[in-house]
Amino acid sequence: MEKLTQIKTKDIEELLKYFEKNTYRARESCGTTEQILGKCLELWKLDYKCMVVPNAGGELCNSYPTKLIIPECEVVPEGLDPPELLCPLTLTSPSPLSLSSPSIIPGGSAPSFSSVVSGGARASVSINGHPVELLRKGSLPANGSKCMVEGTPEAQSDGTRLREFILKAKFARCRARFPVPAILYKGNYICRSATLSGGPEMYGRSGMEYLFPTATSKADDDDDDDEVTRTNSDWQLFDRVRSQDIRLLRACNVGVIVDLMVEKKKVKFGMYVTSSEKVDKENRYSDFSILSLPYPGCEFFKDFRDLGYTGEGLYFNWSQPFVDAQLVIPERTMSAKVASDWNNYRKWDLLRLSQNYLKLLITYTHEGTQGMLVHCISGWDRTPLFISLLRLSLWADGLIHSSLDHTQILYLTIAYDWMAFGHDLQDRLSKDLHQICWILQQP
């Protein structure tokens, strides 16, 4: 396994050459992509105990990796006795993911996924006078499970039930790109997804699932503790599916939703093809803090490339008829720490807009008490841009993935954040959206 984590410049070059010619799809996964995902998993495991949720053949989502890597907790250093953890549940009703309060054995096992998704696992130790939560740097037990779900039997059960959550919720999101944890920091997840699907897609995908059910669709049968009242009426499908989406978000302790769309709803051929939390008519997402941060889509970045990859002096045309989303930041105390002239955001050039959005997300990450969901429309262009920026920024500050060097973290973010979640690099090279990611990381 040590060989898999040794990343050289040549490995990154080979990854980019493959990525440039191949858009990842789970149903078309091959030996090369499985080897890449295997390296990603081993890089994750240098600092985290991980669960792997299988997505073989794209059963959960075709544009998600065949192995969804879910970090459960940071690995405690060898020789350090972890403190006792308190795990108060935050869900309003029992969650199948929250099996029991995990225990910690000094020098041994770490808390299960259930303690993370319920938002209850909180502990800190002091190193050189500095408190650190669930310290990293270490290695997994040598006798780890070889099954698809890594770790303890409790984690295996949690992984199975998480998968059941996903199967129920996936149609709520565009292209079935459901919320999935991408980063674990201070006991909270930063998740990623697509925006909410519109009626035509939701009914269409649900109809296909009805005609061609998967073997695991039986997950819908064990809903004794379900918050959602079941009904056979098609009119209730909309409400039921979005309620399951909310339930999945709550299970991951998401309290903040970051919407990067410049539209309230995406329109194609005169029809609404997607929706978003900010315009949900039934206010189902009213318990979440919804940040509307309109950010230009990949088409705009052709101009960025033509100007020699400089965001200075490059302005988005906010007067276009389809641009109807307004900037909304509910917590003024957060926004005030980043800038004082948010009302003038449409006068900012691309560089300043990108910098302030990133600073705002980092502020929420550091000071927020709940997890965060980031999405654009499909979740494979602007979403990986900000997920990658967050991962690289937190890594550069020594806060996550502390065992990884610069080549390892670069490999991980390109392979996992971008490629494995369906980014079409072959098409996007003409737009070069990803270039802003590297520019913003420069000092």
Question: Which residues are known catalytic residues?
Answer: 376
Q: Are 370 and 356 in contact (CB under 8 A)?
A: no
Tokens of 330: 């509910």
> Is the torsion defined by CA of 223, 226, 228, 229 positive or negative?
positive
In Å, what is the CA distance from 94 to each residue of 71, 91, 288, 350? 22, 7, 19, 44
8-state DSSP, 188: E
- The full DSSP string for 357-380 is HHHHHHHHHHH-SSEEEEE-SSSS
Closest among 62, 288, 51 to 161, alpha carbons compared: 51
Enter the tokens of residue 17: 């050459």
- 320: three-class secondary structure by DSSP: coil
CB atoms within 10 A of CB 51: 24
* Continuous H helices in 47-198: 113-117, 153-169
Cα–Cα distance, 286 to 255 (Å, whole number):
10
Distance CA 119, CA 104 (A): 17
* Helix, coil or strand: residue 334: helix
Distance (Å, whole) CA 1 – CA 99? 31
Query: Is 371 within 8 Å of 255 (Cβ atoms)?
Result: yes
Residue 299 makes CB contacts below 8 A (sequence gap 6+) with: 431
The backbone torsions φ and ψ at residue 324, rounded to the nearest 5 degrees and listed phi first, read: -125, 0
CA-angle at 192, arms to 68 and 229, nearest 5°: 90
